[in-house]
Amino acid sequence: MEDSSKEDYKIHSFDMETQKLLKTALKDPGSVDLEKVSSVIVDQSLKDQMFSKEAGRICFTIVQAESKQNGGSVFRRNLLNRLQQEFKAREETRKRSTQEWVCLVSFICNIFDYLKVNNMPMMALVHPVYDCLFRLAQPDALKNEEEVDCLVLQLHRIGEQLEKMNLQRMDELFCLLRDGFLLQDGLSSLGRLLLLEILEFRAGSWMLSETAQKYYYSEVTD
């Protein structure tokens, strides 16, 4: 029961008609237009950062419900097609709005985290996720706290899974982050702290010691 109340909570920001559409899709996906459902979820994810962080759970529930109901994958196909379009336009999105870009990255990483095939992340999403994280690790992005914060959040959430899928690209990403931390001018003190924390997090096998945790999180809250 707890899960369904969480789902309700996540869709309360929609108008009543859209809430009804999503609630139906979660329980009886065969009875609604799943292309419309995927568009609604992606559109909201690009506008609403809280929703973009949690939308993967809703998508996972609809994918499971559709598969159970009729063995179909219409929703997943439409969702991935729309994600591909947004991914291709990512640089334009970033130029237009940092907030929208950060929401897009959160959403793609969230889908990677939740949508599994035989309990494994979807191979089709591995390189797009890495490409987004590499973009966040470029010098211009590292000067923007919002982008650094997004990068670090995603690596906390999916870094270990992503590393298992492609170790070489993770090594390359962390070379960029290390160089950014050591060599780049113009980083804010918070940006530098976040980079140091994620470098230490991966060095500790995707964990922080209790001491390190106290140090970083007292610094961030101060």
- Is 47 within the bounds of a domain? yes
Structural domain includes residue 117: yes
Q: Within a domain: residue 9? A: no
Domain count, the chain: 1
CATH number assigned to the domain comprising residue 99: 1.25.40.180
Q: Could you tell me which residues come within 8 angstroms of residue 24 by beta carbon, excluding any fewer than 6 positions away?
A: 31, 32
Q: Is residue 177 part of a domain?
A: yes
Per-residue pLDDT of 14-46, as tens digits, reads 899 999 999 999 999 999 999 999 999 999 999
Domain around 93: 16-218
Reported as a pLDDT band with limits 50, 70 and 90, residue 222 is low
Residue 111 lies in a domain: yes
214 within a domain of the structure (yes/no): yes
Phi, psi of 191 (to 5 degrees): -60, -45
- pLDDT tens-digit series, residues 110-161: 999 999 988 889 999 999 999 999 999 999 999 999 999 999 999 999 999 9
Q: Is 219 helix (H, G, I), strand (E, B) or coil?
A: helix
Domain annotation covers residue 8: no
Report yes or no on 1 lying in a domain. Answer: no
